Structure formats: structure tokens, C-alpha cells
Amino acid sequence: MHNPRIPVTPPFKAWKPFSFYVYLLNCNAVTTPTSSEEFQLAQAGLVCRHHNIDLLLQLFGLLQSEYPKMQGLTGGWLKLTLVPPDSEGYTGTLIRSMTGNGKNLLYIVPLQQEFDLTPLPPDAVEFKNMPKAQCQTCKVSLPLHILALHVQEYTESGSSAEDTECPICNLKFAPYFLEIHASTCGERVFILSFIDFFSVDDVLDAICQRVDVEKQFSILISRTNILERGLLQWQPGIDTGALRKEFLTEMVAGIETRFFEGPPHQKSPRYSLTDFDSGLFRTVGEILAVSLAQGGPAPTFFSQWAYSYLCNGQINPTQLDKNTVADSQLRLLIDQQSLRGLTDEILNFGFTGAISVQNKEPIVRAITLHAVLRLQPMLEQLKEGLQLYGLHLLIKQYPEICQPLFVLGGDFVMASIHPQLSEKGTSKHQVELDLVNFIQDLLYESEDGPRSITPDFAVVVKFNHNCEADFGNHSICYPVVSSCAKTIVLPVKHMKSYSQFRMVLLEAFHLGQEFNNV
């Protein structure tokens, strides 16, 4: 029994957490957003949120964690129906009262600031906890709340509209969705349009900066089956960290043998619909991009026409002849002297003229075009893989600079030569420039299938204008080479013309394993 004179403390009533919905608008407004405005807000991460709240929790801290864009807001909030804060601010008790225990939707409107409505990429922090699904039309995974609005807007705007090509990845999308895709594509493929590139080194430095050297991609393979095991385990590890050069060297060599065919340094993709269907050519492109970005060997085994297609997506018929055909079976067919029994095969190649010996040249031309055109799907998939680190974008913008990384020849060697020239305007400077041109002429003249050269290959060329001071009176001397320092000193006096330059250099090659004075 209680003493009636002693006041009884009422029993403590436990606080029951409740849930409510809140909507953050981008600017000061007095009306609720329309359906089209909701779509823009959803793309910008200002979507309707569901929250659980307790009595002691301050609302502003909760909303800041859910809406990162609110972290810069100062001052109060203006509601569509003004809800003034109590002495302790916006607490759980106040919110429960104003929302009818979570049944009514709250709109938060900034008084002064205006939030950016640029569409966020699907992997933005605002969407990290939201389930995603793929749009069957655009093939892009979007948060479910955006996907529903996207499908609705896409239907209203007309899905039959002509697709527009993305300038970054070259894929086509509906005009309405292109802006959304561009925001995500810009996150995946960095834009280097404002940087000028003048050499192969500039390109390699640019893609090298995209490598996260702090991470590692662990892969367990045996040396007897590096290529197949590497391809099998590649997908989960792309762009996640640095790889050993030894692994990249083995992979690039295996790719050249497994996925390409043709004469050395003039190869084309091997025709394989099985590999195409498995997406292996995309994987090949990614591995080649990684090799270039991480100091591995350059894939200098591409034919000129194949590289040109990577640059502009077009096949130039003037670059094609019967030597372009890399398929061994088709080459045997081209070399056939008799056409007897080959009618069906020739017709399958698209030749519609009379099948006779007199038409052998147009028949060979039809076979050549067929052999090249059927490789377009493989090259397109290869281009997708080369988008890693933004490499394909650089190839498109700077085809001549990037060519030595894929097509080996005198141009690549010349790009790796660093002559130490005299001061401009002097007679020595002009003579030295002539010698550099002689080097290039000799390389083009001698080129018949050079060996592989890595992108870090570089030779310093020096010029000796007074060899008599070193060797006394003599009739001829040869270039002096330092293999460790990667330098070569040319005797200018004995190389005044290209014929003299060629004779001295070739004699030096034939005299022994190293250049010596005579």
C-alpha cells in the first residue's frame, strides 16, 4: 500500500522507435515534385528514403549520412507545411508527431543552396545500399527506383528514337539515356582530351598513372599452361592492381600464338566464333592494355590494316591485297592454279562473276575481302577490351603516336632514338640531322621482319665531329657503341652522304660482334 501523502512516480514508458519517409529536394520549392522531376532527383541521389529513428537521435546527423549533399547545408529547413523545430531541434518525438507515426512523407527543402542534379553513376555512394537490376533496353544496371522511372520515361519519350553514339566508348544509346550513360562512362574511362601527347612515352605514362600499384592481383597458375589459366582467372582480377612483368610477357606471347595468325609482325586476329562467343577477344584486349600500362611487352605483331581498324573502325580496301590474308586455308586456295572443283567455295566468298582462270584476279580479291571482313566482330570485341585505362581513346585520338605499340617498324625505332644534337642554326646541327635521316632511311631499307622490341627500348645517339683528335690520321673509322649505356657515337667525317653512311655502318656490322676502330 502506498502512502497517499507520498507522490508516486509514474512508471517509465519505454520509447518505441518508428520509421518514416523523407524526400530531399534540390532547391527551394512550395510544391511536391512532378514525376519527371522525381526522375531527375533520383538520378542525382535525392531519392525518397526510409528511416528508423529513436528519441535521442538528432535528425540532421541521420540525414547527412543518407544524403551526402546535405553536409554543406547551413541554416534551417523550410517544409511544404512549416514544421518549426522544438527547443532541442528536430527530434524523434517531433518527427513522429508531425508524420503521424511515420505515415506522412516529409519533404526537406534547402532555403538558400541548390543541389546539382547531374545524374550520378550507378556505383555512387548514394546508391551503395540499393538493389540494382539491368535495363533490358540499355543493358545498364541501375538502382531499382531509377530503373522504374527510367523505363517509364524511356517509353514516354519513344524507344524508337535513333540511337546516338557515346563519344567516349563508341557504344550507341537512346538520346534520352545518353546523358546518364555518359556520367558512368566518364567515371570508367578517364578523359585526356585536354592533354597533348607528342611521343609513345607520353601515352605510356598516361595509362601507367591509372594503375593502382598498392594492390595486387593474385593468380595461381602453372608455367606449363600460363595462357589458358591466365585467361580463366583473368575476369575477376582486371584493373585491381599490379601484375608481374614475367606473367605479362608470357601472356602476350601466348596471345600472339593463340589468337593471331599470319607472318611475323603482320598478324590478324584468328577467325574463331567460339572465342568470340566466350568474350575472349575482350579479355585479350584488356591483357594487352594492362601489359602496356604496367611495363610489359608491347603487342607489336599487328598488321597495318588491323591497327587502322582499331583506330577508326573502318576497313580501307586500298590497304588490302592477297598478302593480307592470314588464314592458312584461304592462302592455299589463293595459290591454287586450277579452279576445278572450287566453284562452291568461291561462291561462298561472295564472288558473283564467271568462275574461270581469266577472272582469277577478281576471285582472289573476293577471297581477300571475305577473309578480312569476317574478322570485324573479333576486332570490335578487342576494341572493347582496349578501353581499359582509356587506351582505346588514346589510340583513336593519336593513331600515329600509338602505332609503334602495335605495328613494329622503323617508326618505332626512330621514336626510341634520342640524338644529342648541337645548337640549332649551326652547321654541325644540320649535319647531325642528316645523319638521323640516314638512320631512318637505312632502317626502312633493311626492314624485313624485325624482332620484338619493348617500349622502354631507347638509344642515345652522339656525334663525333673530330675523330682525328682521338685516332690520329686515318682513312676510316666506325661507330663506337656502349651496350651498357645504350649509346652510339657516329663518326661524322666518314658519313657525309647516305651511301657513305650505309657502307660504314654495314661494314661495322660484318666486322664482328661489336664496333671497333680500324
pLDDT for the residue 106: 72
pLDDT at 281: 93
Q: Which residues is 419 bridged to in the sheet?
A: 461
3-state secondary structure (DSSP) of residue 5: coil
How far apart (Å, rounded) are the C-alpha atoms in residues 415 and 300?
14
Give the helix/strand (H/E) hosting 109: strand 105-110
Residues 6+ apart with CB under 8 A from 77: 90, 108, 109, 110, 111
297, 265 Cβ separation under 8 angstroms: no
Angle at 82 between CA 79 and CA 83, to 5 degrees: 95
- The DSSP result for 326-386, as a single string, is --HHHHHHHT-S--TT-HHHHHHTT--S--SGGGHHHHHHHHHHHHHHTTHHHHHHHHHHT
* 203 half-sphere exposure, CB direction, 13 A CA radius: 26
What pLDDT sits at residue 145?
A: 64
pLDDT at 85: 73
Q: What is the mean pLDDT of each run of 10 residues along the chain (518 residues)?
A: 50 61 70 72 68 57 66 52 70 74 70 70 70 71 69 55 60 60 50 61 84 61 62 53 69 90 88 91 91 87 92 86 84 79 80 81 87 92 90 90 82 62 77 76 60 59 83 83 78 83 82 52
Residue 361 one-letter amino acid: E
Cell matching residue 437 = 635521316
Take residue 450 and report the three cell numbers written for it. Answer: 624485325
Neighbour count for residue 176 (Cβ, 10 Å): 17
**How far apart (Å, rounded) are the C-alpha atoms in residues 442 and 410?**
9
Helices 226-234 and 245-259, packing angle to 10 deg:
100
Give the Cα separation of 425 and 432 in Å (integer): 12
Strand pairing category for 417-419 and 459-464 = parallel
Q: How many CB atoms lie within 10 A of CB 4?
A: 7
Phi, psi of 233 (to 5 degrees): -95, 5
The confidence score (pLDDT) of residue 293 equals 87
180 class by beta-carbon count within 10 Å (0-12 exposed, 13-18 middle, 19+ buried) = buried
Residue count (the chain): 518
pTM (predicted TM-score): 0.47
Look at residues 139, 241, 129, 229 and name the one whose alpha carbon lies nearest to residue 184: 139
